[in-house]
């Protein structure tokens, strides 16, 4: 994985979460659960072995403007995505 671009969110979990090791039925829900546990301003990176368009649509429908999505590496066979939770506007 060679991605260098970042969301510029100040807090990010260090190592990408690799969902390739999970059962296919659990992959998307695991990412959604990780997003749900973020505090505003935090982000994480995830390695996916499936096309992330459906996951992004799910985030858009559930969290409309409250998330940041940066594709750091485009697959196939793997995608590296950085997902963050926006801080509320002040």
* 3-state SS assignment for residue 28: helix
- Cα gap 60→65, rounded to integer Å: 7
Q: 12-85: which CATH number, 3.90.320, 3.30.70, 3.30.110, 1.10.8? A: 3.30.110
Span 52-88, pLDDT tens digits: 999 999 999 998 889 999 999 999 999 999 999 998 8
Give tens-digit pLDDT for 7-51: 455 555 569 999 999 999 999 999 999 999 999 999 999 999 999
With the CA atoms of 61, 41, 28 and 78 taken in that order, what torsion angle do they form, in degrees rounded to the nearest 10?
120
CA 47 to chain CA mean position, Å: 9
Distance CA(75)–CA(90), nearest Å, equals 37
Place of tokens 């979990």: 13
């Amino acid at each position: 994985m060679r991605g260098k671009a970042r969301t510029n969110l100040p807090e990010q979990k260090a190592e990408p979460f690799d969902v390739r090791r999970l059962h296919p039925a659990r992959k998307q829900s695991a990412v959604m659960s990780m997003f749900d546990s973020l505090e505003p301003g935090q982000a994480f990176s995830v390695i996916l072995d499936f096309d992330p368009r459906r996951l992004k649509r799910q985030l858009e429908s559930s969290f409309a403007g409250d998330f940041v999505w940066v594709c750091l590496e485009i697959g196939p066979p793997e995608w590296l995505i950085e997902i963050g939770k926006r801080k509320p506007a002040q």
